[in-house]
């Protein structure tokens, strides 16, 4: 659009973009008025314009063809340094347009590795121990399986962000679900060797359609820490314990969870068990971590959930039919005090006439709605992901748990908190009202896939553990498709995604800043934000292409009170909410009031209990409190 600007020396027509600001216009007029931009007064119809708001938006409301008056502020004299001689050529004031939504990528087949895709450049330190299983570990039908523990560093990222630490990968070698690029790397290394590799983008980005086969873009430094052998699934759990206890003081701590990783992957081949480094978290997606016992003649277990122990039972809703049995392997640092390996093996049984979960909640029993507990984190994790819950008609089951003979009956976990939680503990809910928090959550919800890739395990069969997996759970287990509730919606990533299937989706959060950002996205479909840790570099957040924003509504409410509003939902999704509530058990008990008859609840939490949100005197989910 064009506006007419009245200057002390005359009038001039200036082309501007509606999204540009009066501050941009003053920058172009400083040579005509001979004054710094801050000393220029720009008015329209007698009112002064706001420098940082768009010309066409509130509160400026400048229309096409409007007349603006530009003059020096009172008391300001001409500044010869802004003489017309030094004026640059006039240019149209433009602001970068938001990117158009990208078309969804087609499902692509994992590219086949060629000899040139993984290039070993040089050895940075000599190997100190050889290993002779390279010819055997790729044999898919061999009795033994091998796992490699790697430390990986992206050289380009390390130069740009030296404060970033290396990340760790537990790699099941020879597993067809495993990323082949890292298997190819391990083939060229000796134990203890650290080498430099140049990897093809084709095998890292999983998008061969847009990349040339010889398009190399990244250099990685990889160190092979250890390779361990694990018996096949027909072997007893004792083999697992022997492997874990065989290491010395220099044993990589993440291997505590590595054997658990392998065991769960082999027992639940349809699932993926992702392990991140010890500084991050551990998650099981979407496997249950529990399988039927092959020996159906094993004696049944007679101890019901909550009987004889009041702390939370961390594993329920296993995929075991009525009367079915299973093994459960638990590991925790807290168990090492009175158990040599810090491990406990549980027998489980699903009762024939089990009461449903709503009844258990109504009785006030200490019930954790999850598939895995913090036991599985061991020394390698600081939290867990709760994925499946039992509030739908599909999962109305009760699981019986009891330790094996000689292992005691009490399971106690330690309080765990992530480093991010510690940093924000002093601020509590105020931490979510800052613009920095809004930028971070916009980047996390709508950023590129590489954001989630940084938190995933390269050896997993799929690349991320984030929103896509949680949404798959929602879509696969929901029965009704009318109303959905996203508790703790933040900036609305899951809310918009759910709108592609549900007719009406409500997103609620306690943060005014988050809800404002979500509402802005609903109106404009895209929103600019500053990349976290990148200074003033700007990016754009865009809602998913297949979402229906008209079906969404957002509200800033107390999530503790909202469950008693009288509304009924076919799906309730709560990500990273439970350990941020004042009274989590009360909130869990209130879920049945907001569920429809066939409603399903999906919970995900980092399991980071902090007193800034949940006071220490409030009973939490991980231990008994009196």
- Write out pLDDT tens, residues 498-550: 999 999 999 999 888 899 899 989 988 888 888 765 555 678 888 888 889 99
On whether both 133 and 219 belong to a single domain, the answer is yes
Mean pLDDT (the chain, rounded) = 60
Task: Report the DSSP beta bridge partners of residue 43.
Answer: 48, 69
SS3 494: helix
pLDDT band at 111 (very low <50, low <70, confident <90, very high): low
Q: What is the pLDDT of residue 604?
A: 77
On whether both 155 and 9 belong to a single domain, the answer is no
Q: What is the pLDDT of residue 165?
A: 60
- Closest Cα partner for 300 from 275, 321, 325, 282? 325
On whether both 476 and 596 belong to a single domain, the answer is yes
User: Is pLDDT above 60 for 260?
Assistant: no
Question: Where does a domain end: 177, 205, 232?
Answer: 232
SS3 387: coil
C-alpha pair distances (Å), 99 with each of 439, 541, 583:
18, 9, 42
SS3 284: strand
Higher pLDDT, 568 or 345: 568
- Please report which helix (H) or strand (E) contains residue 4, including its range: strand 2-7
On whether both 487 and 568 belong to a single domain, the answer is yes
Q: Tell me the pTM.
A: 0.37
Q: Identify the residue whose tokens are 């699903």.
A: 350
- Cα distance between residue 622 and residue 611, in whole Å: 14
The alpha carbon torsion through 411, 244, 179, 134 (nearest 10 deg) reads -170
Q: Is residue 306 part of a domain?
A: no
- Which range scores top for mean pLDDT: 123-132, 229-238, 578-587? 578-587
Q: Is residue 384 part of a domain?
A: no
The region, left, alpha or beta by phi > 0 then psi within -120 to 50, assigned to residue 438 is alpha
* Tally of domains in the chain: 3
* DSSP characters over 53-73: S-SSSTTT-PPTT-EEEEEEP
C-alpha pair distances (Å), 430 with each of 479, 582, 612:
37, 15, 10
Q: Is residue 97 part of a domain?
A: no
Q: What is the 3-state secondary structure (H, E, C) of 142-167?
A: CCEEEEEEEEEEEHHHHHHCCCCCCE
Q: Where are the alpha helices (DSSP H) in 51-176?
A: 155-160
Q: Is residue 377 part of a domain?
A: no
Q: Is residue 525 part of a domain?
A: yes
On whether both 536 and 593 belong to a single domain, the answer is yes
On whether both 430 and 570 belong to a single domain, the answer is yes
The structure tokens listed for 269 are 């081949």
Q: E strands of 417-576, at which residues?
A: 483-487, 504-509, 526-530, 538-542, 552-556, 569-575
Q: Is residue 250 part of a domain?
A: no
On whether both 34 and 153 belong to a single domain, the answer is no
On whether both 479 and 571 belong to a single domain, the answer is yes
Q: Where are the alpha helices (DSSP H) in 188-335?
A: 201-205, 237-245, 255-267
pLDDT band at 623 (very low <50, low <70, confident <90, very high): very low
Per DSSP, the chain holds a count of helices (H) and strands (E) of 15, 23
Task: CATH number of the domain at 183, please.
Answer: 3.10.50.40
- Closest Cα partner for 261 from 272, 246, 247, 252? 272
- Which range scores top for mean pLDDT: 136-150, 437-451, 473-487? 473-487
On whether both 596 and 460 belong to a single domain, the answer is yes
- Which range scores top for mean pLDDT: 47-56, 287-296, 409-418, 428-437? 47-56
- Closest Cα partner for 170 from 290, 234, 254, 76? 254
Task: CATH number of the domain at 10, please.
Answer: 3.10.20.90
Question: Where does a domain end: 86, 121, 149?
Answer: 86
Higher pLDDT, 623 or 153: 153
Higher pLDDT, 589 or 383: 589
Q: Is residue 459 part of a domain?
A: yes
Phi/psi of residue 282, each to 5°? Answer: -120, 145
On whether both 78 and 160 belong to a single domain, the answer is no
**Which residues lie closer than 8 Å to 583 by C-beta, 6 or more apart?**
560, 614, 618
On whether both 592 and 447 belong to a single domain, the answer is yes
| Range 236-244 average pLDDT | 36
| Range 153-159 average pLDDT | 76
**Which residues lie closer than 8 Å to 184 by C-beta, 6 or more apart?**
113, 117, 118
The structure tokens listed for 466 are 């984030």
Which structural domain range is residue 495 located in?
421-604
- Cα distance between residue 313 and residue 203, in whole Å: 41
pLDDT band at 110 (very low <50, low <70, confident <90, very high): low
Is residue 226 within 8 A of residue 255, CB to CB? The reply is: yes
On whether both 172 and 72 belong to a single domain, the answer is no
Name the DSSP letter for residue 462: S
Q: What is the pLDDT of residue 600?
A: 86
- Cα distance between residue 585 and residue 624, in whole Å: 12
Task: CATH number of the domain at 500, please.
Answer: 3.40.50.150
pLDDT band at 455 (very low <50, low <70, confident <90, very high): very low
Question: Where does a domain end: 211, 232, 253?
Answer: 232
Q: Is residue 96 part of a domain?
A: no
**Stretch among 116-130, 366-380, 510-524, 549-563 having the lowest mean pLDDT:** 366-380
């Amino acid at each position: 659009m064009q506006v007419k600007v009245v200057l002390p020396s005359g009038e001039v027509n200036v082309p501007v973009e509606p999204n540009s600001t009066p501050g941009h216009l003053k920058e172009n007029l400083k040579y005509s008025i001979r004054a710094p931009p801050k000393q220029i007064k720009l008015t329209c119809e007698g009112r002064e314009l706001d420098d940082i708001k768009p010309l066409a938006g509130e509160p400026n409301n400048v229309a096409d063809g409007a007349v603006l008056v530009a003059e020096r502020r009172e008391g300001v004299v001409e500044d010869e340094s802004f003489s017309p001689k030094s004026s640059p050529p006039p240019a149209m004031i433009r602001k970068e347009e938001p990117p158009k939504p990208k078309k969804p990528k087609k499902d692509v087949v994992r590219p086949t590795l060629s000899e040139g895709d993984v290039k070993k450049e040089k050895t940075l330190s000599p190997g100190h121990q050889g290993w002779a299983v390279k010819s055997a570990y790729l044999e898919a039908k061999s009795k033994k399986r091998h796992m490699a523990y790697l430390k990986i560093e992206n050289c380009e990222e390390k130069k740009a962000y030296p404060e970033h630490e290396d990340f760790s990968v537990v790699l099941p070698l020879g597993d067809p679900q495993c990323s082949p690029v890292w298997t190819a790397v391990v083939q060229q290394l000796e134990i203890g060797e650290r080498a430099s590799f140049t990897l093809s983008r084709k095998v890292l980005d999983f998008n061969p359609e847009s990349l040339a086969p010889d398009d190399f873009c990244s250099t990685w430094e990889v160190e092979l820490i250890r390779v361990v052998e694990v018996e096949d699934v027909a072997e007893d759990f004792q083999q697992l314990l022997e492997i874990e206890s065989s290491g010395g003081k220099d044993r990589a701590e993440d291997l505590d969870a590595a054997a658990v990783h392998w065991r769960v992957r082999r027992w639940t081949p349809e699932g993926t068990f992702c392990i991140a480094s010890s500084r991050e978290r551990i998650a099981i997606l979407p496997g249950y971590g529990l399988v039927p016992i092959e020996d159906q003649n094993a004696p049944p277990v007679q101890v019901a959930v909550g009987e004889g122990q009041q702390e939370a039972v961390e594993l329920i809703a296993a995929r075991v039919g009525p009367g079915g049995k299973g093994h459960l392997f638990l590991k925790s640092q807290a168990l090492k005090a009175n158990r040599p390996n810090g491990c406990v093996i549980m027998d489980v049984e699903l009762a024939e006439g089990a009461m449903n979960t709503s009844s258990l909640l109504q009785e006030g029993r200490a019930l954790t709605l999850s598939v895995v507990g913090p036991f599985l984190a061991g020394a390698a994790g600081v939290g867990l992901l709760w994925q499946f819950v039992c509030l739908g008609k599909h999962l109305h089951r009760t699981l019986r748990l009891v330790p094996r003979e000689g292992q005691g009956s009490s399971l106690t976990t330690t309080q765990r908190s992530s480093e991010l939680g510690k940093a924000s503990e002093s601020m509590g809910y105020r931490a979510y009202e800052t613009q920095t928090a809004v930028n971070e959550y916009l980047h996390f919800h709508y950023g590129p896939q590489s954001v989630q890739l940084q938190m995933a395990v390269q050896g997993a069969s799929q690349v991320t553990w984030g929103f896509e997996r949680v949404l798959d759970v929602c879509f696969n287990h929901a029965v009704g498709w009318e109303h959905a509730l996203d508790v703790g919606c933040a900036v609305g990533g899951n809310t918009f995604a759910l709108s592609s299937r549900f007719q009406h989706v409500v997103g609620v959060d306690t943060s005014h800043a988050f809800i404002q950002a979500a509402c802005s996205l609903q109106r404009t479909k895209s929103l600019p934000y500053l990349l976290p840790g990148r200074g003033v570099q700007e990016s754009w957040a865009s809602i998913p292409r297949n979402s229906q924003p008209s079906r969404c509504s957002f509200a800033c409410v107390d999530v503790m009170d909202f469950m008693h509003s009288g509304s009924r939902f076919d799906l309730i999704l709560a990500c990273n909410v439970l350990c941020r509530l004042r009274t989590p058990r009360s909130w869990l008990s209130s879920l049945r009031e907001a569920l429809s008859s066939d409603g399903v609840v999906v919970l995900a939490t980092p399991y980071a209990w902090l007193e800034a949100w949940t006071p220490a005197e409030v009973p939490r989910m991980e231990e008994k409190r009196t």
